[in-house]
Amino acid sequence: MDPKERIEELRRILDEAGYKYYVLDAPDMSDYDYDMYLRELEELEAAHPELVTPESPTQRVGGRVSEAFAEVVHEAPLESLQDVFSLEELEAFEERVTAGGPLEFDVEPKIDGLSVALRYESGVFVQGATRGDGVIGEDVTENLRTIRSLPLRLESAPEHLVVRGEVYMSKKVFRELNAERERDEKPLFANPRNAAAGSLRQLDSRIAAQRRLDIIVFNIQAITGRTFERHSETLDFLKSLHFRTVPHFEFSSVAQCWEKIRAIGYDREQFDFDIDGAVIKVNSLEARRELGSTAKAPRWAVAFKYPPEKKETLLTDIVIQVGRTGVLTPKAVLEPVRLAGTTVTSATLHNQDFIAERDIRIGDTVLVQKAGEIIPEILSVNLSKRPADSVPWSFPSVCPECGAPVMRDEGGAAIRCQGAECPAQRLRHIVHFASRAGMDIEGLGTAVAQLLIDNGLIKTPGDLYTLKADDLQELPGLGKKSADNLVAAIAGSRSNGLVKLLSALGIPQVGQAAAKQLARRFRSMEALEAASEEDLTAVDDIGEVTAGLIRSWLDSAQGRHLLSALRDAGVDMTYTEEESDLRFAGKTFVLTGALAKYTRDEATAIIERLGGKAASSVSKKTSYVLAGENAGSKLTKAQSLGIPVISEEDFEQMLL
C-alpha cells in the first residue's frame, strides 16, 4: 500500500479504537494490537515526516514548551451562569422565561472543571482556548491535543465548528496523581478541579499528557452549514461526531427538573467527574435567542448550586496512617453518616495542630462535611454532647508501623517516621535508593520495585543485593534479558562510592549536596558513624538540626541494620576524589524551550550532580542559558545581557 494511504488507514483505525476506549468506555481492541498499530504509524511517519499532521494519534504525547500562552478572542462569548439555591428561585426563573408561553427544559450535571472553547476547521482541531474572562482566553491548544477523549479530527464535519466543553480530571486519576505526588514528597492537589486547571496550564505539554485529563462538551458556540431547533439536537449531533457529551435530561416543567436535580445531587458519586451543581437550560434555541443575555449571563439558563451538606455524627476512634513518605496522618473513625451521595465512615484530621486547635477527642459528637465534594472533614465539636470522662488525645511518639521515633518537620506541621526500614515507606525507600540521585540502578523504577515487593523478594534496599536473575525472570514483564540486566545493574552499583550511597540512604536533610560535603570530610562510612554532632556541624552547610538528624539515623536500630546489610553485600562505603566530578561548580544554568533528549528535570539533575545550579530566571549572575526549541523571553533577555547561550548539542559536548 502507498505510505500515505496506509498512514491514513492506520489513523482511522486508531481514532476509532481510541473513541471506543476513551469516550464510550467499550474497547474492542487489545492494548497490544493498539500498540502495534501505533508503532507502525510512528515508523511510517518517521520515514515520511512530510506526512505528519497535528491531528495524528502520534501527536498526543506532548512535547512542545511555551514560554507563555497567547491570547485568543472568543468567536462567541463563553458566558457564566446565574446561580440559584432553592426551588423558589428556580420557579421564579421558570416564570420569567415562560412569560411568552410554555417551554421545555434541559437538565445537566454541572461539571466542576475548566471551561474551554474548541475550534475545528474542515473537521480538524486547530485551536483550543480557556474561558478567561469570557471574551478573551488563553491558547492551550498543545495541551488540549494530549487529551485522549478529544477528537483531533471529525468525520463528515461542518466546515467551521466551535464547541464549548469542560476539561476535568477523573476522580480515579486524581487519587492516583495525589498518591504519586505524596510518594515524591510534592504538595497534594486540593481537588480534581485545581489539578485539572494546573495541568491544562502547564507550559510543557508533556506534563499535561501525563496528567490524563478528560473533556466533556456541552454546547455549540458557532457552526456553518447546519441549523438546529433544540439544544438536545445539538448534543445528539456532537455525539455523532464522536465527542463525549454531557449527560442531559429533558422535562416540561421546573417541578420535574427539581426532582432530577435532587436525584443528581443524591447520586453524584455515579459520575467519574466532580459536580458542584446542576444546570437548567431552555431547550428551544429560538426561545434562547429571544430571551438573550444580560451583561454577565444568559437569561435562558441558571445553575443550581448544591450547598455543602453537613451532619453530626460520633467520632469513635482516632487511628494513625503512615504514608509512603513517612508522614503520620491521623484519621477519625466515624459512625456511618450519609453525605453528598456517599456513606462517610472516616474523615481526615490533617495533623497534630488541627486536632489541638479544635480539641478533638475520641467520643466527641462532631459536625462533618465533604470538602470540595471529595474529602470528608470535621468542622467543629459539639461540646454540649462531650462525655464527662473524655480526655485530650495525644500524638504517638513512635511510628505505629515500625516503632521507630517520629519527629516533626522543621518549620512544618508534618510528623514523620525516622525509620530507615519502615514497612510503610518500603516502596519509597527502595525507589529513592535506586534513583539517579541515589545509587543510579538502571531499570529499577517504581513499577519494578513494586513488583519485587509484591512478590516478597525485597523488603529493604539491602535485599536488592541478594537478588538472582533466576528469581526475577519468571515475574510478569521481566524476561531473562531484563532480569540479567537488572541484576547486573544492581551489582554494578556496589562500586558507586560514599557520595551516592549517602544520598541514597534517605537520611533526613541529606541530599546530593550534603552527601558530597560529608563524604569529603569523613572519607568513609566508619568515620561518619564515629562522628559526634559537634564533628558534623563543622562540615559546610550542616547545621545543628541536620547534624542531630544524621546522628539519630546512624544510631537507630533500623539504620544500623541497613548499613550492616549493605556492608555484607560488598557495597563500597569509601570516598575517592575521582568519584566527584564538579566541573559545573560555581556555574548557574537557566533552561528555556523544549529539549529533544532530556526533560527539564533530567537536565537539572545532571547540572546539579556536576556541582552546578539550575535557576528559573535569567540574571547577570547566570553563567549559561541552555536553549531548546521554541525558546522565548528568557533567550531574549540572555542575549540582551550578553550571557552565553548554548544549544543541547553544546551541553552534551560539555558533558564529555
pLDDT digits (tens, 9 = 90+) for 358-376: 999 999 999 998 765 566 8
Give the DSSP letter string of 29-48. Answer: S-HHHHHHHHHHHHHHHHH-
- Using CA atoms, how far residue 195 sits from 51, 350, 599, in Å, is 35, 20, 21
The neighbouring-strand residues paired with 627 are 592
What the block records as the C-alpha cell of 57 is 494519534
Specify the amino acid at residue 499. Answer: V
For residue 590, the tally of other CB atoms under 10 A from its CB is: 23
CATH C-level class of 310-385 = mainly beta
Which residue do the cell numbers 464527662 mark? 388
The whole-number pLDDT of residue 25 equals: 63
Q: What is the distance between the alpha carbons of residues 205 and 604, in angstroms, rounded to a whole number? A: 18
Which H/E stretch holds residue 605?
helix 600-609
Give the DSSP letter string of 614-637. Answer: EESS--TT--EEEE-BT--HHHHH
- Using CA atoms, how far residue 639 sits from 119, 208, 594, 648, in Å, is 36, 30, 18, 17
- Using CA atoms, how far residue 88 sits from 104, 255, 264, 277, in Å, is 18, 10, 19, 16
User: How far separated are the first and last CA of the chain, in Å rounded?
Assistant: 45
Show the 3-state SS of 183-248: HCCCCCCCCHHHHHHHHHCCCEHHHHHHCCCEEEEEEEEEECCCCCCEHHHHHHHHHHCCCCECCC
Kindly give the parts of the chain with pLDDT less than 50. 65
Specify the amino acid at residue 522. Answer: F
Question: Does the domain at residues 3-52 carry the CATH identifier 1.10.287.610?
Answer: yes
Give the DSSP letter string of 548-573. Answer: HHHHHHHHSHHHHHHHHHHHHTT---
Specify the amino acid at residue 395. Answer: F
Domain 588-655: give its CATH superfamily: BRCT domain (3.40.50.10190)
Question: Does the domain at residues 72-305 carry the CATH identifier 3.30.470.30?
Answer: yes
What the block records as the C-alpha cell of 525 is 562510612
Which residue do the cell numbers 475520641 mark? 362
Helices (H) and strands (E) in the chain, counts: 24, 22
The neighbouring-strand residues paired with 116 are 130, 165
- Active-site residues: which are they? 110
Cβ neighbors of 73 (< 8 A, separation 6 or more) are: 135, 136
Q: What is the distance between the alpha carbons of residues 265 and 87, in angstroms, rounded to a whole number? A: 14
Q: Look at strands 136-138 and 71-73 and give their pairing.
A: antiparallel
Please state the domain extents for the chain.
Answer: 3-52, 72-305, 310-385, 423-578, 588-655
pLDDT digits (tens, 9 = 90+) for 289-346: 999 998 778 999 999 988 777 899 999 999 999 987 788 999 999 999 988 667 889 9
Q: Is the pTM of this model over 0.75?
A: no
Specify the amino acid at residue 173. Answer: V
What the block records as the C-alpha cell of 156 is 463528515
Do 562 and 505 touch, CB atoms closer than 8 A?
A: yes
Q: What is the distance between the alpha carbons of residues 224 and 237, in angstroms, rounded to a whole number? A: 13
Q: Please report the sign of the dihedral spanned by the C-alpha atoms of residue 194, residue 200, residue 202, residue 205.
A: positive
Cβ neighbors of 124 (< 8 A, separation 6 or more) are: 53, 54, 55, 152, 153, 154
Q: What is the distance between the alpha carbons of residues 185 and 427, in angstroms, rounded to a whole number? A: 13
Specify the amino acid at residue 155. Answer: E
CATH topology match: 72-305 vs 310-385? no
What the block records as the C-alpha cell of 413 is 506541621
Domain 423-578: give its CATH superfamily: 5' to 3' exonuclease, C-terminal subdomain (1.10.150.20)
Show the 3-state SS of 337-377: EEECCEEEEEEECCCHHHHHHHCCCCCCEEEEEEECCCEEE
Q: What is the distance between the alpha carbons of residues 526 and 572, in angstroms, rounded to a whole number? A: 11
- Phi, psi dihedral angles at 245 (to 5 degrees): -105, 160
Q: Please report the sign of the dihedral spanned by the C-alpha atoms of residue 87, residue 92, residue 97, residue 103.
A: positive
Do 559 and 420 touch, CB atoms closer than 8 A?
A: yes
The whole-number pLDDT of residue 336 equals: 93
What the block records as the C-alpha cell of 27 is 474497547
Q: Look at strands 310-322 and 365-371 and give their pairing.
A: antiparallel
Angle between helices 254-266 and 87-97 (to 10 degrees): 140
For residue 1, the tally of other CB atoms under 10 A from its CB is: 8
* Residue of 360, 373, 372 whose CA lies nearest to 314: 360
For residue 176, the tally of other CB atoms under 10 A from its CB is: 13
